[in-house]
Structure 1
Amino acid sequence: MFRVLGVVLALVVAVALVVKRVNYGLALIIGALILGVASGLSPHQLLGVLSVTLRDRVTIDLVLITSLIPILASCMKETGMIDGLIKGVKRALMGRGVLAMMPALMGALPMPGGALLSAPLIDEESETLGLSKEERSFVNVWFRHWNFFVYPLSSSLILLAGLTGFSLYTLILMNILPVVLYLTLGYLVSIRGIEEKNRPEKHGDPKALTHILLGVSPILLTVVLNLAGVHMAAALLMGIASTFLIGKVAPRKALKLLVRGFDWRIPFAIIGVMYFRGMIEHTDVFSEVYPYLSAVGLPILLLLLVMDWVIGFATAMPSAGIAMVFPIALVSLGSLNLAVVGILYSTLIFAYLISPMHLCLILTVEYYKARLHSVYKKLIPTALASYLIFLAFFTLMGCLLP
């Protein structure tokens, strides 16, 4: 019984710390220690689990990859490639096209507070087209979050692949159809009905495509190399090197950009994630939890979904939710097929999307001076409808899988 209470306490403390904006790596390390102590592990054994975690190949790969992704984004910004990309898109598109494209492009760049990059970029067109503050907020939030489902450089997807053992690109293929429906639904409820009156005819700018291709070339290079079999970390290094070549960055400045783009909190968070997973596996604590779950009389998957919603909504941090839910799901269900992974992952993302703690939502509403409850009138029904589409898709997939 004491070990069961230890599991509950570990999860509650970890979630509470993340809600308080404590680095979720530290929150998970504390949660793992609580779990270990409740399971009767000695200090030597606690350190032993940490040692195994730090030497694990998956931990090393995830630390390298998630450290390099923000560096790539930072180098693209500092060398002016993002500005060039924005310029190219604005030359190629105008009106309704810009509204969806700008948040989508900025969503591909893993930067804290990225919503503030795209919000000003659609402001002018939104004003011209007569969108309210709340409508602008919805567009900016909705169209930037496709990346969680199909973007190869999404830290959440990369972490999910590492924890479940599925290939990153298998997870992406799994999500393509539902994310197309997600974007289509967002378009139907926010952009389709906008009238473009008295707009001058837009002629193609031959330089626009050049700006766009140059702007996305480091990302394309990284993904193509990884698909060709190059390790993601090595592919990211080559993508970073390409920003220096295209931006004609001197070696001394390049070193400064690398240092400036590194964020220690991200690899530290990964260590916390993997330590928490390792502690769950080492203690085998869920062998004692099963009888209590059975006594409740509810399917384990349903209990995991409830946990998904609570953690995703409370923390508004998908990676923290992945770190807590999926190790538990693995030991509770024995194994995970793609359908179950899709259901659990999409639940986390949609709980995060509508959470009042969601940083992108907070920053967007603040920027436009919108009313949150008015934004929610469109965001929550659309998110729930989209979530039901994801659930139906993955349930059908589960019926078809052997």
Structure 2
Amino acid sequence: MNQLLIVLASFALIPFLIRKRVKLSNTIFIVTLIISILTGIGIEGLGRTIFGIFTSINSLDTILTVALVGMLGSLMKQYGLLDQIVHTMLQIISNKKIIMMLIPSMIGVLVVPGGAVLSAPFINSLGEEMNITPPKRAAINLIFRHISMFLLPFSTALLFIKASIPEVNIYKVIGFTLPFIAGVIILGYWLYLKDAGNGKEVRSSGIGKNLLKLLVITLPIYVSVLINVVTGLPFFVSMLGSIIAVYFLSNKKGFFDALAKSFNLHTMLMVLSILILKDVILQLGGMLSLIKDLLGTVGSGIGIMLVFTLVSLFFGYITGYPTSALAITLPLLSMLDMNTNALHIYSYFLFAVSFVGYFYSPLHLCQVLTIGEMKVGTLELYKEYRLYAILQLLLIYGTTLLLLMLFA
């Protein structure tokens, strides 16, 4: 019980430190340091934990891949590939409702902090033309911007799941997320786009030529996945293929300087701090046993899901970062006795509910930047989310229970 109270009290410091303008990576590490000292792990134990991170292939793959994905996003923005992708889609698709869903989804492939700000100007402009209110524009941008993080194997959360539970196949986890993603797309369209006008009609032209162009200019996004699937190489090696693709698609002017400047140390430190926190949590046997006993008491199915939901929502909401909740829940999941399919289904469930806590957090950087671009108040956006948030949670529970019935 003492360990649990120490963890809760330590995490409660996060909003305070953020308000004091302490970077989130430093904040997470400070919290980890406090937990280590107060629970008896100590500085020496923390040092061994950090050393273990740097000697773990899965952890190094996660850290390096996230760094390279951030560099990829920065390079694609700098050399105008993002603008080219959007412009080409506009030449192919005349239905602006579809474009409103596709633009943030495509740009969301580039896993960069606050990446929703890249698509916000396009959504704001199209939404105004289609007479969509600013709060709805903000909701559209944020909902569809985050779809890709469930589908791409190099998204930070999926990499973190793989690093935490090596026996998990992240492509199988992605497969189990598909019903949820389909539901999110339907909900987003039904609640925010169904009744909107299409604005000024745009005629698509040269569809075949533009489809080929789109296939070429999006090569940096999907080539690394192809390399990983075909060769089985670690993701950080596969990501080099994406960087090389940007080089050949760019004008090459100052490329290597741009490559060096695109490295984001804070993003890499964020992932490192979360991985350290996860390994520290694994050493808190008293707390893990307590929660494991609670999970055993509630039985299976809905009971386990409710406990995991409360933990995930709390830690995701107060940190504004999806993997912080996973640092708590994945060690618990690895301790439970379940078959392979159930392990993958619950991995999807933990991913989804931790995402919900992060998505609605006032510290969520994509939300902060989007409402700034749309000139919308936080409360206005939360009012817009009322029905969506309820249906989103019901969708997570419904798809998880259905998957457990069919496959576990």
- TM-based fold match above 0.5: yes
After superposition, the Cα gap between the structure-2 partners of 1:206 and 1:57, relative to the gap in structure 1 and judged at 3 Å, is: closer
Q: What is residue 12 of structure 1 aligned with on the other side? A: 12
**Shift of residue 232 of structure 1?**
1.0
Aligned with 1:316 (options 305, 314, 320): 320
- The within-5 A match list for 1:176-325 is 176-196=178-198, 199=201, 201-228=203-230, 229-249=232-252, 253-286=254-287, 289=290, 293=294, 301-325=305-329
Q: Which one is further off, 99-108 or 264-273? A: 264-273
Contact 1:88 1:207 in 2 (8 A): no
Secondary structure (helix, strand or coil) at the match of 1:189 reads helix
CA RMSD between the two structures: 2.8
**Shift of residue 226 of structure 1?**
0.9
After superposition, the Cα gap between the structure-2 partners of 1:353 and 1:280, relative to the gap in structure 1 and judged at 3 Å, is: closer
Cα distance in 2, alignment partners of residues 401 and 295 from structure 1: 22
Q: What is residue 156 of structure 2 aligned with on the other side? A: 155
CA deviation vs aligned residue, 1:258-287 (integer Å, no higher than 9, x gap) = 211111122222222222222233352336
**Shift of residue 241 of structure 1?**
1.0
Cα distance in 2, alignment partners of residues 128 and 339 from structure 1: 41
Cα distance in 2, alignment partners of residues 291 and 52 from structure 1: 25
Secondary structure (helix, strand or coil) at the match of 1:101 reads helix
Q: What is residue 44 of structure 2 aligned with on the other side? A: 44
Secondary structure (helix, strand or coil) at the match of 2:218 reads helix
Secondary structure (helix, strand or coil) at the match of 2:145 reads coil
2:127 is aligned with what amino acid? S
Q: What is residue 139 of structure 1 aligned with on the other side? A: 140
Cα distance in 2, alignment partners of residues 291 and 106 from structure 1: 39
Q: What is residue 404 of structure 2 aligned with on the other side? A: 398
**Shift of residue 389 of structure 1?**
1.2
Contact 2:7 2:35 in 1 (8 A): yes
Cα distance in 2, alignment partners of residues 291 and 152 from structure 1: 29
Q: What is residue 379 of structure 1 aligned with on the other side? A: 385
Cα distance in 2, alignment partners of residues 268 and 64 from structure 1: 11
Q: TM-score, normalized by length of structure 2?
A: 0.87
Q: TM-score, normalized by length of structure 1?
A: 0.88
Cα distance in 1, alignment partners of residues 126 and 150 from structure 2: 27
**Shift of residue 145 of structure 1?**
1.4
Secondary structure (helix, strand or coil) at the match of 1:285 reads helix
**Shift of residue 200 of structure 1?**
5.7
Paired residue total: 399
Structure 1 alignment gaps of length 5 or more:
none
1:218 is aligned with what amino acid? P
**Shift of residue 242 of structure 1?**
1.4
After superposition, the Cα gap between the structure-2 partners of 1:106 and 1:20, relative to the gap in structure 1 and judged at 3 Å, is: farther
Q: Which one is further off, 6-15 or 367-376? A: 6-15
CA deviation vs aligned residue, 1:58-87 (integer Å, no higher than 9, x gap) = 221111111111111112222222221121
Percent identity reads 22
Cα distance in 2, alignment partners of residues 178 and 4 from structure 1: 32
Cα distance in 1, alignment partners of residues 129 and 8 from structure 2: 52
Q: What is residue 355 of structure 2 aligned with on the other side? A: 349
Cα distance in 1, alignment partners of residues 142 and 41 from structure 2: 44
After superposition, the Cα gap between the structure-2 partners of 1:152 and 1:137, relative to the gap in structure 1 and judged at 3 Å, is: same
Structure 2 alignment gaps of length 5 or more:
none
